[in-house]
């Protein structure tokens, strides 16, 4: 029996989410997100955000959400400050540049950039006398959790938000794995994101949905004109918006979204202990559902016989960085079985 | 009780399609279309096309499929010849131009253009001495069925294909409602489309799926380099490709796709008779699941109390063009109930 | 000796314009349009416009000016209403669509559209219930003179401007041949254009300059943010802005620009008489420097031995539409020699 | 009297270039680069390149040439490897990303990247398992001379070219200041560039022309289809192509282009000595026409009273990096006068 820790999108939808799709299947509903489920899901998200004025739109996938949101939130001449390791800078096939915007990549630590780095970039930008020949910085893009599973603290987010507001930059958070980040964070909450961000998205695809991300624009004055029109122009308007609305309605019923995150985190904690207890070196001490370790290549090959994981890259000539991820679908039995495998290494 | 004839995307998925999503839900599957369902669905489609070399990719929605396919199939300087009433020219919010390509709109009849019109356009284009200052025509875009529910015959498609091949134009068919077109056509089949087209898509969203269109490129030499990369760059690569693969696998099992179309057509025939028998004037004599009639405005308002339909536009000061659509989900009871309503007008 | 009536850009610069380039050549001047000539030229243009608040930027060529101006003046989701015969719709190689905007082509008469056509388009657009799926009309584009040498009257322009302002559309005039239009018009003046237009350009390339167009945005509230930045982003910022500034400074000294236009018009009037007197049928009765006639093909071939003209298209099986153009560089001797040739036909 | 060392584009055209514009001014010539001067200039450049099959097109400015050439030479999904200090990465306002391509910035030394850096990037790119989610590297972009006045040796260029050819990357050289680079280099010549590059441009604007760059594509198989069409689509096709053709014809007559470079280099050598002899610290030891020194801020302010220079950035709290540039227009008297000023510091 193979054990699956390869990623957090290997199964379909969380059972309650799937059931909601089944239950609503034969209802006659209007298209293009005008259905009652999409509206109710948006309402529930606004409640969870404690932000009654937020605009919420459901988009199919993460790269699409990023490419759409950054393009419509920015002026055509503005670029995006992001970590050099940011998903938009490394693994979205240039989807951001495809819309005409430059990613202004900054040095990062374990997937994070900080307020000081942003401040320094702005100072150097201003010191150059050729502003009108340079890309205008318009936004800071963060991932929460980052690509390395790390988290910003509320204090770090506030510091970045302060720099943004002092410099007329928008703040955007890519929450592809937000459920896992919220579950792991001591102080970052949905209301805090609504307070600090100009826009962010609540990831569904990796957190219990078959597909779907909820793009949130907390403040009405930030909502681009003709928002639906621009979603359509980007090819991102789904005819059966119910597909996304029904799922998010279920995810935001009885706190399911956060509970899915908490379950994955509990599994990740056990996984973390199993890895460490069995002598594997952590590549990075991730607090979230992605765990990175450095087996030697013999261990790696042995493990690969029974466990699916992601290869993150070469560590040195004899070691490899691998990633094991839990999700809402991971069971205690899965982790126990993995622990048993690890003991045999 | 309201009767729903507003469009063909008001319900979720056909029962067998939904069941396939339920059944496969907890399977561990690779992402980005590499799952076994996506592969099997592509195989089944190739069989249905009688075209073993076809490339098949699943995309979430119709506008996205058009914008992606036209952009990657064309050189950046090429435009698309299409009916002035074509969906890409009227109701996709400029998504084609957003990728840099011009739609070269041509006069149409009941949603159709013909080989002669295309030939005439090409002759005038060539007669202009300023070719290098003009958009290069690179493709002919057709809808099948058209926006008015009409169909091209096999002979008409062959004539257009002949003009295309004689002039190095690609031929692309937008099959958003292909199931209904195939069910209604005497001679247009999936293998014929594979023979004549450089690319086309088999619509799922309006023909039994929750979401999804199957983009087909029959000939290997037409497949753009780095196809997955370009889908990603367009924001159209779905992480859980299973969502689309499982549905198309079900749609192409035991001829379900065509059967759904045939059911809708049977309902449309009954609907057509009910409309005509009750004295409503046909706006256009559509052979497919979209029926267009011209009630006077009093009839329109009376009907609206019990029936959902689409308003297509003003006919004259006292009449309105309305559209009633059947789908895989329409029942004989729905049509009978509508007939009863019509008798009271 | 060949006679040149092929177009209005066959010679270099008007003598005074060339002399200004020679005289200023060794002056040390700042780059990117910050030189004193560019500033002085802008001042002189503002004076000629009677519009002290106008923003004036010098761009190298016409297609570049159109592509830049339309892109930066419009929101990304807006399209441009234009005559189907408009230069941007026919002979700019899709440069407008290349920036993502759709040209909403309208039926035209002799190169012109009118307020009624625009009004009708808007009414039909509004009658369609799917606005958010359609390109938002954002601008009306006119050419003055048109591609057929025709002119809008002040009254016609006012009517179009009224429709634009009542419907939140910008009005843009492509003045590639503006000098010739102003010289021919009874009532359209630079101040009128400044009053009615949101933007327009004063063509230099075809009206006495080696290269250069003056983009005018009369009202400060219409000037896009970071204007120089956007010009640079479009690749349209010239390092030696003096090249354009010096020429427009000369063109707007002592009314040279209008005088060049008047000279070409005087030549065109003589040309017009010569054509008519010698029995050539006018294709269109153009009041400006472009004259269109319909020789039979034998006449056409005979004429081509001594005269350069442009072939506009086939008229019928035995006749061809040809264009003869005068310019600032046409001499009375040229027209007299042409008249002699025509007599021999 | 102010002394001008601010940049190399402060004057108009070299006298012989200006005279050629004057001499040809009243000739009737076809437009859009079809004139005899443009053709002759291209022929002369092909001779200078020792590359009879090269395609040569004249474009107005440097950013425009880069944005055009990179876009049309690359597939839409390809990015450009360049130094982080490269002009396209820092001072072209995102004009490259505006066409949809990502700049893959690499660490550099004094403006240069080397074959090892490129090789290392490619290895890391390949080691990532997600190629289809990443921008495909398609080109290496170099500046010669670099933004810091430094030069690649023939050996360095060959090493980079070897990496490019082994990895199916195109090699492009931005020669905005090529005349000065060729004059300073011991072994890099026009024929060598034609041998090693897939495309490059010979800068006119900063090397003796009023405007213009000559884009060279040495090998016919690299020339994009419909080249003129694509130049037009980019808004870069000049109606009076003679403006550029006449100037390059003059620049490539009797070796003028290289002689202008040699003159500027001789002036730069004297300038270099004056700077060093007067105790100014070199920021970088540039072999070309741009000289970078580090005065203390009091010296800087004193110098600014009599000399125009560019401020490159803060060196430390008490010193500033400034740039002084010579050009074809710099005279021995200018440098002697500067030397006198420096003695007084």
**Residue B206 CB contacts under 8 Å (≥ 6 apart), including other chains:** A239, B7, B8, B9, B62, B176, B177, B327
Looking at the predicted structure, is the pLDDT value of residue A129 above 90? no
Q: Which residues of B touch D133 (CB under 8 A)?
A: 229, 232, 237
Q: Which residues does residue A216 pair with via DSSP β-bridges, in sequence order?
A: A56, A200
User: Are residues D268 and D241 located together in one domain of the fold?
Assistant: no
Paired tokens of C194: 């400044």
B321 and B235 in one domain?
Answer: no
Cis peptide before B283 (omega within 30 of 0): no
Band of the pLDDT at C131, cuts 50, 70, 90?
A: confident
Digit-coded pLDDT (tens) for A102-115: 999 999 999 999 99
Partners of residue B102 in chain C, C-beta under 8 Å: 94, 97, 103
Q: What is the token pair recorded at C304?
A: 């081509």
Query: Phi and psi at residue D298, in whole multiples of 5°?
Result: -70, -45
Do C138 and C281 lie in a common domain? no
User: Contact B77/C91, CB-based, under 8 Å?
Assistant: no
Domain check: are A19 and A154 in the same one?
yes
Determine whether the interchain pair D100/A100 forms a contact, defined as Cβ–Cβ distance below 8 Å. yes
Residue whose token pair is 């339909």: B309
Please check whether residues B288 and B314 belong to one and the same domain: yes
**Residue B148 three-state SS:** coil
Task: Give residue-wise pLDDT tens across range C9-44.
Answer: 999 999 999 999 999 999 999 999 999 999 999 999
ipTM tops the 0.95 cut: yes
Are the beta carbons of B132 and D228 closer than 8 angstroms? yes
CB atoms within 10 A of CB B86: 26
> Which pLDDT band, with edges at 50, 70 and 90, does C220 fall under?
very high
Residue A1 has pLDDT above 80, yes or no: no
CA D160/CA D162 separation, integer angstroms: 5
pLDDT at residue C340, rounded to an integer: 95
- The size of the A-C interface in CB pairs under 8 A is 45
Question: By the 8 A CB rule, do A125 and A78 touch?
Answer: no
Burial environment of residue D52 by CB neighbours within 10 A (0 to 12, 13 to 18, 19 or more): exposed
**Encoding tokens for residue A25?**
């299947």
Roughly how many angstroms between the first and final C-alpha of chain C, as a whole number? Answer: 17
The predicted structure's pLDDT at residue B129: 80
**Residues of chain C contacting A, Cβ within 8 Å:** 32, 71-72, 75-77, 131-134, 136, 225-226, 228-230, 232-233, 237
Distance CA(C10)–CA(C13), nearest Å, equals: 10
In 10 A of CB B319, how many CB atoms? 17
Token pair 């937020």: residue: A54
Q: Could you tell me which residues of chain B have a Cβ less than 8 Å from any Cβ in chain D?
A: 32, 71-72, 75-77, 131-134, 136, 225-226, 228-230, 232-233, 237
Beta bridge partners of D81: D104, D140
Residue D316 tokens, joined: 């430390």
Q: What phi and psi values does residue B162 have, to the nearest 5 degrees?
A: -60, -45
Averaged pLDDT, A202-228: 98
Find out whether the peptide bond into A145 is cis, omega within 30 degrees of 0. yes
Same domain, C270 and C332: yes
Strand ranges of the sheet holding B290-293, from the earlier edge strand across to the other edge: B282-284, B290-293, B319-325, B310-316
Q: Which of B71, B75, B94 to mutate to test the interface with C (most CBs of C within 10 A)?
A: B94
Distance CA(D111)–CA(A2), nearest Å, equals 51
Provide the number of CB pairs (under 8 Å) joining chain B to chain D: 45
For D33, which DSSP code? T
Q: What whole-number distance in Å separates Cα of residue C139 and Cα of residue C147? A: 19
pLDDT at position D129 is 80
Residue ranges of chain D with per-residue pLDDT less than 70: none
Backbone angles phi, psi at A54, to 5 degrees: -65, 145
Final residue belonging to a domain, choices D208, D224, D251:
D251
D97·A93 Cβ contact <8 A? no
> Which CATH number do you get for residue A108?
3.40.640.10
D170-175 and D3-4 strand pairing = unpaired
Element housing A322 (H / E): strand A319-325
> In this predicted model, what pLDDT tens digit does every residue of B79-109 receive, in sequence order?
999 999 999 999 999 999 999 999 999 999 9
Could you say which of B235, B251, B267 is where a domain stops?
B251
- A114 φ, ψ to 5°? -130, 175
pLDDT value, residue D345? 83
Domain end, chosen from A194, A224, A251, is at A251
Nearest to B274 by CA among B185, B186, B345, B181: B345
| Residue position matching structure tokens 């247009």 | B188
Chain C residue with minimum CA distance to A102: C233
Q: Residue A49: what pLDDT?
A: 98
What is residue B91's DSSP assignment? S
**Do B20 and B76 fall into the same domain?**
yes
Question: Minimal CA–CA distance to A237: which of B150, C310, B94?
Answer: B94
CATH number of domain containing A296:
3.90.1150.10
Tokens for A50, please give them: 């404690």
Alpha-carbon gap: B138 to the closest alpha carbon of chain C (Å): 13
The tens digit of pLDDT for each residue in C44-72 reads 999 999 999 999 999 999 999 999 999 99
Compare all CA atoms of chain C with the CA of D61 and give the residue at the minimum distance: C238
Helix axes C115-127, C154-166, angle to 10 degrees: 20
Percent of chain C residues past pLDDT 90, beyond the cut: 97
Interchain CB distance below 8 Å, B127 and C313: yes
Q: What is the pLDDT of residue B345?
A: 83
Q: Do A235 and B10 touch (CB under 8 A)?
A: no
Asked if residues B174 and B142 have their Cβ atoms less than 8 Å apart, the reply is yes
Residue with tokens 């264009």: C323
Burial class (CB in 10 A: 0-12, 13-18, 19+), B298: exposed
Mean pLDDT in residue range B245-261? 98
Residue with tokens 């395609």: D55
Pair (A299, A210) in one structural domain: no
Q: Residue B252 in 3-state DSSP?
A: coil
Contacts of C215 (CB under 8 A, 6+ apart): C56, C57, C58, C59, C65, C68, C69, C199, C200, C201
* Residue B177 sits in the same domain as residue B294: no
Domain match, A278 and A219 both = no
pLDDT in tens, B196-211: 999 999 999 999 999 9
> So what's the pLDDT on residue C345?
83
Residue-wise pLDDT tens digits, B98-138: 999 999 999 999 999 999 999 999 999 998 888 899 999 99
B129 → closest Cβ in C77, C101, C311: C311
Task: Note the pLDDT tens digit of each residue in C306-337.
Answer: 999 999 988 999 999 999 999 999 999 999 99
Token readout for A227 is: 């928002």
Question: Distance between CA atoms of D95 and D68, rounded to whole angstroms?
Answer: 9
Please tell me the total count of domains within chain D.
Answer: 2
How much is the average pLDDT of C147-157? 98
A345 — pLDDT class (breaks 50, 70, 90): confident
D93 vs C27, C29, C229: nearest CB: C229
Instruction: Give percent above pLDDT 70 in chain B.
Output: 100
CA atoms within 13 A on the CB side of C185: 25
Q: Residue for token digits 């009227």?
A: B90
Which residues is B56 bridged to in the sheet? B216
pTM of the model: 0.97
Residue where the block lists tokens 């992001």: A82
Residue from the list C10, C21, C92 with its beta carbon closest to the beta carbon of D29:
C10
- Confidence band for C76, pLDDT divided at 50, 70 and 90: very high
Q: Which residues pair with B57 in a beta bridge?
A: B215
pLDDT at position A5, please?
A: 97
At C245 the pLDDT is 98
Residue A131 has a pLDDT of 86
Q: Please give the Cα distance from B271 to B284 (Å, whole number).
A: 14
Provide the percentage of residues in chain C whose pLDDT is more than 70: 100
What's the confidence (pLDDT) of residue C128? 87
Optimal mutation site among C30, C33, C71, C75, interface A, most CBs of chain A within 10 A:
C75
Do C240 and C302 fall within a single domain?
no
Residue C1 predicted with pLDDT over 80: no
The domain of C303 spans: 3-9+256-343
**Domain identity same for B187 and B328:** no
Quick one: tokens of A140? 């800071």
Phi, psi (5° rounding) for residue B138?
A: -125, -10
Instruction: Quote the CA–CA distance of D24 and D19 in Å, as a whole number.
Output: 9
Angle made by CA atoms B173, B176, B181, in degrees to the nearest 5: 80
Residues of B with Cβ-Cβ distance to D32 under 8 angstroms? 132
CB contact under 8 A, D127 and A313: yes
């Amino acid at each position: 029996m193979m054990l699956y820790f390869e990623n957090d999108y290997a199964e379909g939808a969380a059972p309650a989410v799937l059931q909601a799709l089944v239950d609503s299947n034969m209802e006659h509903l209007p298209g293009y997100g005008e259905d009652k489920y999409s509206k109710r899901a948006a309402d529930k998200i606004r409640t969870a955000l404690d932000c009654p004025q937020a605009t919420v739109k459901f988009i199919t996938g993460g790269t699409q959400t990023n490419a759409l949101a950054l393009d419509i939130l920015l002026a055509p001449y503005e670029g995006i400050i992001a970590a050099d390791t940011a998903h938009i800078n490394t693994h979205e096939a240039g989807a951001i540049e495809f819309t005409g915007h430059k990613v202004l990549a900054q040095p990062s630590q374990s997937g994070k950039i900080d307020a000081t780095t942003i401040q320094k970039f702005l100072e150097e930008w201003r010191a150059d006398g050729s502003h009108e020949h340079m890309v205008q910085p318009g936004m800071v893009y963060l991932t929460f959790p980052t690509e390395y599973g790390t988290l910003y603290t509320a204090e770090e987010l506030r510091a970045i938000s302060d720099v943004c507001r002092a410099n007329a930059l928008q703040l955007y958070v890519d929450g592809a794995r937000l459920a896992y980040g919220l579950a792991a964070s001591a102080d970052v909450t949905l209301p805090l994101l609504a307070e600090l961000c100009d826009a962010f998205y609540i990831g569904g695809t990796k957190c219990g949905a078959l597909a779907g991300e909820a793009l949130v624009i907390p403040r009405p004055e930030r909502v681009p004109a003709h928002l639906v029109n621009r979603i359509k122009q980007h090819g991102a308007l789904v005819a059966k918006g119910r597909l996304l609305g029904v799922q998010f309605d279920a995810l935001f019923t009885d706190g399911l979204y956060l509970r899915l995150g908490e379950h994955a985190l509990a599994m990740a904690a056990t996984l973390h202990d199993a890895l460490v207890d069995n002598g594997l070196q952590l590549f990075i001490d991730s607090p979230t559902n992605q765990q990175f370790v450095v087996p030697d290549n013999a261990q790696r090959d042995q493990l690969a016989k029974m466990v699916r994981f992601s290869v993150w890259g070469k560590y040195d000539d004899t070691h490899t960085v691998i990633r094991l991820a839990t999700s809402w679908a991971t069971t205690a039995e899965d982790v126990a079985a993995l622990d048993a495998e690890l003991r045999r290494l």
